C-alpha cells in the first residue's frame, strides 16, 4: 500500500508552522524546507525538516561552553553566599538594619546634644567681656557634648539571636580647656 503524498501551498504551510508566507519562502530559499514545485510542499517532509532546523538552532545557541560558564558562575555565586553566611556567623558582618539603627541612635543623640548648647550657653554669654571668651565657652560646651556622645554605648538587645551589638566608639581627640593641646 503506497502512501499518498499530501501537498500544501505556501499559505497553508505558513499557517501550520505559525510563520509568515515570506518566512516560509526564505526557509525554502535557504534549503531548509524542500519544495516540490511552484507553491507546493510535501507537508510531512516540510514539517520534519522545519523541526530539525529548530532543533539545530536550539542546540547551537546553547553550547557546552555556555553550560560550563553558567555552572561556574552559579558555583561562584554559591561560594560567595556561603562566605557571607560564614562571616555573619563569625560576627564579622552586622546586618544593615542594626547598623542603620545604631547610627540613627548616635545621630539623634548628637543632634539633641548640639541643639541643647544654646540653652546652656546663653546665660553665660550675657557676662562675656570679649569674643575670645565667648569662643572658649562655646568650644568647651561643644567638646563636653562630643565627649559625652563618645562614651555612650548603644546596645540593641531586641535582636534575640543576633547577639550583643554594642557599639564601642574609639577614643575621641579633644583639646584641653587651658592650652588647646590635643588629648586622647
Is 173 found in the same domain as 136?
yes
Q: Strand, coil or helix: what is 37?
A: strand
Asked if residue 101 belongs to a domain, the reply is yes
pLDDT tens across 115-165, in order? 888 888 888 888 888 999 989 989 998 888 888 888 877 655 444 444 444
Is 81 found in the same domain as 25?
no
pLDDT score at 155: 59
Grid-cell match 558555583, residue found: 75
Domain that includes residue 12, residue range: 7-61
3-state helix, strand, coil in the chain (%, to 5): 60, 5, 35
The band of 27, judged by pLDDT with boundaries at 50, 70 and 90, is: very high
Asked if residue 68 belongs to a domain, the reply is yes
pLDDT score at 61: 65
CATH code, 57: 1.10.10
Asked if residue 145 belongs to a domain, the reply is yes
Q: Give the DSSP per-residue string, 123-161.
A: HHHTT--SHHHHHHHHHHHHHHHHHHHHT--B----STT
pLDDT score at 22: 94
Is 137 found in the same domain as 125?
yes
The band of 70, judged by pLDDT with boundaries at 50, 70 and 90, is: confident
Asked if residue 40 belongs to a domain, the reply is yes
pLDDT score at 170: 41
The residues facing 37 across adjacent strands are: 40
Number of domains in the chain: 3
pLDDT score at 2: 56
CA 34 – CA 8 distance, rounded (Å) = 12
Is 153 found in the same domain as 104?
yes
- Average of pLDDT values for 155-177? 46
Whether the per-residue pLDDT at 92 is higher than 80: the answer is: no
CA 14 – CA 21 distance, rounded (Å) = 5
Is 168 found in the same domain as 109?
yes
Whether the per-residue pLDDT at 20 is higher than 60: the answer is: yes
DSSP character at residue 175:
E
pLDDT score at 94: 79
pLDDT tens across 28-51, in order? 999 989 988 888 898 899 999 999
pLDDT score at 29: 92
Is 123 found in the same domain as 87?
no
Percent of the chain scored above 90 by pLDDT? 18
Is 179 found in the same domain as 100?
yes
Amino acid at each position: 500500500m503506497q502512501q499518498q503524498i499530501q501537498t500544501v501551498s505556501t499559505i497553508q504551510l505558513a499557517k501550520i508552522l505559525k510563520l509568515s508566507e515570506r518566512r516560509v519562502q526564505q526557509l525554502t530559499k535557504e534549503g531548509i524546507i524542500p519544495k516540490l514545485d511552484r507553491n507546493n510542499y510535501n507537508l510531512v517532509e516540510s514539517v520534519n525538516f522545519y523541526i530539525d532546523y529548530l532543533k539545530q538552532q536550539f542546540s547551537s545557541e546553547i553550547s557546552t561552553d555556555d553550560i560550563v560558564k553558567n555552572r561556574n558562575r552559579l558555583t561562584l555565586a554559591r561560594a560567595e553566599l556561603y562566605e557571607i553566611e560564614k562571616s555573619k556567623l563569625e560576627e564579622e558582618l552586622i546586618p544593615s538594619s542594626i547598623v542603620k539603627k545604631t547610627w540613627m541612635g548616635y545621630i539623634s543623640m548628637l543632634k539633641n546634644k548640639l541643639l541643647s548648647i544654646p540653652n546652656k550657653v546663653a546665660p553665660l554669654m550675657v557676662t562675656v567681656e570679649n569674643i575670645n571668651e565667648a569662643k572658649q565657652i562655646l568650644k568647651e560646651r561643644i567638646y563636653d557634648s562630643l565627649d559625652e556622645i563618645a562614651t555612650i554605648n548603644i546596645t540593641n538587645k531586641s535582636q534575640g539571636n543576633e547577639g550583643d551589638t554594642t557599639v564601642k566608639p574609639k577614643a575621641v581627640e579633644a583639646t584641653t580647656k587651658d592650652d588647646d593641646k590635643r588629648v586622647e
